[in-house]
Amino acid sequence: MAEKLATLLAELKEDEALSEVRKALDEGTDPLSLVEELRGGMSIVGKRFEDKEYFLSELIMSAEIFKESIALIEPHLEEGAGETKGQVVIGTVKGDIHDIGKNIVATLLRCDGYEVHDLGVDVAPEAFTDKLKVTGATLLGLSGLLTLAFDSMKETVDNLMEAGLRDKVKVVIGGGPVNEKVMEYAGADAYGMDASQAVKLVNEFL
The CATH number covering residue 198 comes to 3.40.50.280
Q: Are residues 102 and 145 in the same domain?
A: yes
- Asked if residue 115 and residue 198 are part of one domain, the reply reads yes
Residue 78 confidence (pLDDT) = 58
Give the number of domains in the chain.
2
Residues 105 and 165 in one domain: yes
Report yes or no on whether pTM surpasses 0.85.
no
Where a domain ends, among 33, 63, 79? 79
97 closest CA partner among 168, 53, 152, 15? 152
The pLDDT, as a whole number, for residue 83 is 63
- Which of 79, 101, 131 represents a domain boundary (last residue)? 79
What's the Cα-to-Cα distance from 42 to each of 46, 49, 72, 134, rounded to whole Å?
A: 6, 10, 17, 34
Residue where a domain terminates, one of 30, 50, 79: 79
From the list 128, 89, 85, 122, the residue with the least C-alpha distance to 105 is 89
For residue 139, give the nearest of 91, 70, 195, 78 by alpha carbon.
91
Low-confidence ranges of the chain (pLDDT < 50): 79-81
Res 80: pLDDT: 46
**Same domain as 98, residue 194:** yes
Q: How far apart are CA 91 and CA 117, in angstroms?
A: 8
Q: How are beta strands 87-92 and 139-143 bridged, if at all?
A: parallel
The pLDDT value given to residue 81: 46
Q: The domain containing residue 37 runs over which residues?
A: 2-79
